[in-house]
Every structure is written in C-alpha cells, then in structure tokens.
Structure 1
C-alpha cells in the first residue's frame, strides 16, 4: 500500500463532514470558513513513541488520546473544536494497527464534531502530530494571563490516576486488577473538558489544561499573570486508588506527574455562585486562592508547607 492508498483507505473516509469545510483531504491545502466574529484557536501536540507513550500501547486508545490532548488545549481556551490536521510517521503500513488507531481517533472526532481536513504521512519512527482548530467569540477566550489576586483556584475531575496507572504499567508499583481498572482509563482514554471550558467563558479569569502536572501548569498561570498562589493538599481531588498511592509515595502523582487533562482555572469571588450552578458532571473543586506574593505555596494536611520532590513532566526525560 502506497501513501496515497493509505490516505484514501484510512483518512479520506471519515465519520465527520462539516458545512464550514469547503475543501478537505485531497487538495494541496484545506479551504475552511471561520465564522464571523470568532477568533480562530489553533493548537498542536506531538506524541512520540517511547517519549509520550509506550511502544506497545493499544492503538485504539492511542488514536483517541492523540486527538484528546489537542481538544484539551482548546478546552482550556474556552474554544469549540472544529477541524484538525494529522501528521503521522509509521515504521511500516500495518493495516490492523491503522484500523484500530483510526477507530479511536474518529470515535472522539465524532463525539465533538471535529473534521479531519488534511495532514501528511511518512515512513519513520512512530510519531503522531495533530494540529487542532476551534472557535471562540472575540474577547471571550480564556488565557493563562488573566488571574487576579483573590481569585479562587479550581480544578475539574480528579488528579493523579493516570500517573498511578503508568507506574503500574512500568512495573514501578503493583495495583490489584480492580484498582488498575479503576485508573487506567484516565491514562489511556482521557476526556477533554470541552463543554466545561466553553461554560467558563465570562466566568473564569484564567485557565490551563493540566498536562504536565498541577504544579507546573498552575505555575504557568502564575508566571503569565505575575501573581502567586496558595493551594491546600486536602482540597485536591483524588480517587480512592490514588489516595492509597499517596500514603505510600507522596503527592507527586497528583501534583507533578501529569497526563491528567483536567482544567485548572481561576474565578473571581463574585462569579462563584454562577460557577457552582453549572454542576459539572466530572466534578468541580476549589483548591486554593491567587495571592499577590509571587510563587506557589502548598499547604499540607497539618497546615505546614509541602515541597514536592519534582514539579512537572519533562518531555526530554525517559518515561518513568
């Protein structure tokens, strides 16, 4: 199967067809109709075998996650997803692998009405690059730079499950079969908080998705907003499995190991009532407050300072 047969077989036929796509796969470039009065949000992520995922990862989950991490970036901006490009390097054309990979990717694309409009394929070490596009009304985009002193800091969902699942998969710790089943979906099949991000327009001052770990990603908000923060460990939402892990290994799974793909955002006190009325199905948790003093203070359960052993995922480090 040559490159063009591969494209026709696996990518040209897809489950999403949007009216705002004038030309997609099959031309030298896509022709797209951004809506009037909206900003175009653009993001991209590169996933490399052995760096961002294990070489033997199940391809359906990998395809889904490759798109999910990009939609998570759009969610953090309050953007509605629309289109994406796929750049894929493959060691060889494995038909069964590609069928599974595309199945996972297009399952998620269908769920959020996102159309594949182009990209490229090549022979090489397995790597997946996706560029996603979305829309957000002018002046309504969520930014990292908007946090204000007195804002409350919130996160969606729970943190740390993906890190615990990865440690099990790498043989760094052992979970029971039931416990591993309870956390592995967070690692293999994260859910981008797209609807939640869109709901935060006009309510949140700042936002980011938690991909590299809470400490690192909240730190980006603090740096861009020229502010500090205080968060409380007993307010950080974790699952029972993750909490059991924390009692043995510390809070790094929830604070610093990443791969959570939840949202961290800040909300002024006068918007808290409206925020809580949203009743996110994934859960909503206030973990601290923005302060004027630079830096991030972490307070443990006894009221003392907590200093994590490390502060975030390093893309140039080995999987651990």
Structure 2
C-alpha cells in the first residue's frame, strides 16, 4: 500500500517530538570531529551516528525523524544492521539531505544558489528504495543592509519548489528549508531587519510552491527563527518568539502540517528557549517543533570523545538534550531543568 504524504508528514510532526539533523557532510563532520581530536573515517562516522540512533531513551520518546547524509542512508551498524532499520525500530522516519550545497550565484556578489536538481528524480527513486520517506533541501539567504537581492531569493525559492515537487512525485515528503543567515556580512543586523527579510523570503517561497503545484499538506517547513545578527545586541527570548510567530502567521498557510525550526547558529539553550516560548505563548495553526543538528548533538559529541567506553555517556548527554527539546516542543521547557540535569 502506498504511504500518503500527509500521513508521513503527520508522523514526523507528532506532538512533543522533533527531527534529528544528522546530515552533516563529510567536510562538516570532519570539523566537528577535529574538536575532539578524532579522525573522520567511514567507520568513525558510522560509530558516532550509531551511538545516537541506538539511544532509545532519546529516540523513542523525543525523535520522530532523522535527516541523513547519503553515506549514512546506505551504511550498516557494526553488527551488520542497516542504520535505517535501527531508526525505524526506534519509531522514527528516515530522511535524506538531497541538495548538493550552496554555490556562488553568478552575477550576484555575496549570494548563493543551491545546486542538485539535475538528476534528482533518479536519486529520489534510489533513496526511496533505501527507506527514505522524507528529504531536505536548504536554500541560503544572505542578509545585510542591502542583501538579499530579489533575484537571489526568487532563484532559491524556485529551486526549493522544484525540489519539493520532485519529492512528492517520488512519494517523499519534502522539508523546505529557506535559511536567512544570522552570520551574514557584517552580521550586525538588528532583529527588525531579520524580520523584514524572513517575511519577504517566506512570501516568495510559498508563491513558488503554489506555482509548482506542491501539496502543502504533504510538506514541512524548516525556517530560521527571526533573530538578530551574530554580532548584534541579542534580542530577548520574548521578542524573538513574538516576531517569529508574527512572520509565520503572515506567510505560512494553515494547510502546512508543521514547522520544524533550524537552530541556525544559536546556542543550545537559546534554540530551546525560543522554541518553548513560541509554543507556550501563542495560539498556532500548525505544530511547531525542532530540527536541530549541532544543538542536539554538541553535548553528546563532547561526552563521547570517539571512545567505545564513552558510548553510554554520549547517549546520556544526547538523551538529556533531546528531552529538553521535547519539552520545548510542548511549551514546557524551563531553564532550571538544565541545571537539574
């Protein structure tokens, strides 16, 4: 029986659960491993992700889906069990990052266009056969006093929409990820500028999704929160929550089943606090949750240190972070719960 896109999306947006972004490219995970002095090899990458996926106390109650890098989708655990099977047994949906990265956009200095549409239909068929039931594509939107240009936003929105249409034709739920960067140049933009750019970007994204006949009920939005620049004075948690919800209500149709935020350079606690404030403080037409990478994994990586004897410690750290994010997705996170851990 063919799985319905809206059913898959609904499972991914289960109350109090969120997405683990374990789709770091080989170059990105090498940088993460450098922080603990671990060589990045096929085996070490597998061992790290297996540690996370086998953390049942985190996975079963808190994680509804896992975004994988292509290598991981086809990998087997040390005992020969496919990693996809371990994810499924934990009750989560396996997914796959399908874009080929943001590359400099010809004619648009300081801006990028995400590549990967060529041959995507064939890759999606292979990923579906391997067990993936959702996919992710990231469009990167630069921000400054003069950026982004309308041409760059429109090009990235069109690519996101074409990707989404191809996914749905393949029976795969698309995660549509337009990220307005917090660390643009010079990175000192105020939160009001982030709000302006995020709203304009999301309007164009949903125009393009409609033009490409993407079913809103069978997709998930993964936006950045409305936050100030990396080098700007930090806005309050309440201000971030209020501005983010205001933008979403102005731009995202209620037919979209869920919104899973990226952490986008925020600290672990910042990303958790902002999500919890949005869920607890506003009446919303969609489910809000998390789709975090570093904000879910940083503590686990530090505890693990690449050593077999530290697997249990790494899993405990991952479980704590996943539980905090789960509480945030329910609107019940409090800072004192971090100190009690």
**TM-score of Structure 1 vs Structure 2, range by shorter chain:** under 0.3
- Structure scoring higher RCO (CA < 8 A, sep ≥ 6) equals 1
TM-score when normalising by structure 2: 0.23
Q: Which has the higher helix share?
A: 2
Structure ID, larger Rg: 1
Q: Which has the higher strand share?
A: 1
TM-score when normalising by structure 1: 0.24
